[in-house]
Amino acid sequence: MSLQDAPVPEVRINDVLIQVLKTSICGTDVHIWGWDAWARKTIPVPMIIGHEFVGVVEQVGDNVHDFSPGDLVSGEGHLVCERCRNCLAGRRHLCAHTSGVGINRPGAFAEFLCIPVTNVWAADPKIPLEVLSSFDPLGNATHTALSFDILGEDVLITGAGPIGIMATAIARHAGACRIVVTDVNPYRLELARKMGATIALDIRTGKLADVQEELGMQEGFDVGLEMSGSEHAFRDMLANMCHGAKIALLGILPKSEIDWDHVIFNGLTIKGIYGREMYETWYKMTMMIQSGLDISPVITHRFHYTDFKEAFDVIRSGKCGKVVLDWSER
């Protein structure tokens, strides 16, 4: 990856041109940085990457009537087809033909980003810019954490990456009973504690069964949020859920063997999560932040965009939460 001069994107009639103020770096960007097998088969090059952003409207197309220059906005990085059965039914997060900002079309790690008005979210200027730049992953956390009723329930979150930590705060905000978070990274476990985890367990040295005993739990966790992408974490989760428990899978798991007995005989419900609901998730996360949900401790590092190499190095070290790039100072 390199920093290059690129033309300002062309604004078509349904588009909004956004001057980018801040962007956050997603795990997906790190896969692209590492140019792994997924990135090689998915990303056409050259490509301006990045999809987590906040910015100010610079210009709108002729068909755009509900945004004007100067508006503070974030945006949904999944473009949907608007024509498939799910899109027509208003279930746009289930569109079978999505394309991605910063993946299949030019993205937000630039001074200007152009997206269709359907994907622009009017941001509340009272919310800090860094938080707004993390609305995309906060949306993943919100979509996953609110997929099942968690009020008064014992919740297990595997993976204390930025999304797992945000989900911890959401589960706390939404009235979960005990929240146990697992990871293999002490720095991130500490963040999870700060964000409301009852117990943040280093799974290299501790066992979920022991934690259940310590907490006086009788029947297992009621709701599981898989946010590590680790098959070990998922297997461990399956073995520690109560009968009838609900599991939401966000982490991108490798192909692996599952003990289906846990699922079938314990009557588990498993739901896969992709992206955010358009735009119910965006509404919910805005309202939660307006009513006291504070995810700012998740944002641990800030860099000017010209220092993007250092920013990626910090992420790869694992000693970070969310890392934000600033584009407001040219």
Residues carrying an active site annotation? 28, 31
Q: By CB under 6 A, is residue 206 in contact with ligand NAD?
A: no
How far apart, in Å, are the Cα atoms of 106 and each of 77, 101, 173, 208, 312?
Answer: 11, 6, 35, 43, 20
CB 92 to ligand NAD: min, Å:
14
Q: Decide whether 78 or 262 has the Cβ nearer to Zn ion.
A: 78
Kindly identify the residues of this chain, within the stretch 260-319, that bind ligand NAD according to CB under 6 A: 273-275
Kindly identify the residues of this chain, within the stretch 148-177, that bind ligand NAD according to CB under 6 A: 158-164
CB 326 to ligand NAD: min, Å:
20
Among ligand NAD, Zn ion, none, the one that 95 touches (CB under a kind-dependent 5 to 8 A) is: Zn ion
CB 62 to ligand NAD: min, Å:
33
Kindly identify the residues of this chain, within the stretch 40-59, that bind ligand NAD according to CB under 6 A: none
Q: Decide whether 11 or 81 has the Cβ nearer to Zn ion.
A: 81
What is the spatial distance between Cα 317 and Cα 296, in angstroms, rounded to a whole number?
21
CB 266 to ligand NAD: min, Å:
21
Q: Nearest Cα to 139, choosing from 23, 252, 281, 280?
A: 281
How far apart, in Å, are the Cα atoms of 264 and each of 16, 134, 158, 202?
Answer: 48, 37, 21, 29
Among Zn ion, ligand NAD, none, the one that 223 touches (CB under a kind-dependent 5 to 8 A) is: none
164: CB partners within 8 A, 6+ apart: 141, 157, 158, 181, 183, 188, 192, 225, 227, 228
Q: By CB under 6 A, is residue 119 in contact with ligand NAD?
A: no
- Only segment of 4-12, 33-41, 53-61, 178-186 that touches ligand NAD (CB under 6 A): 178-186
Q: By CB under 6 A, is residue 17 in contact with ligand NAD?
A: no
**Helix axis angle, 135-145 relative to 280-290, nearest 10°?**
100
**DSSP element (H, E) containing 283:** helix 280-290
What is the spatial distance between Cα 201 and Cα 253, in angstroms, rounded to a whole number?
21
Q: By CB under 6 A, is residue 107 in contact with ligand NAD?
A: no
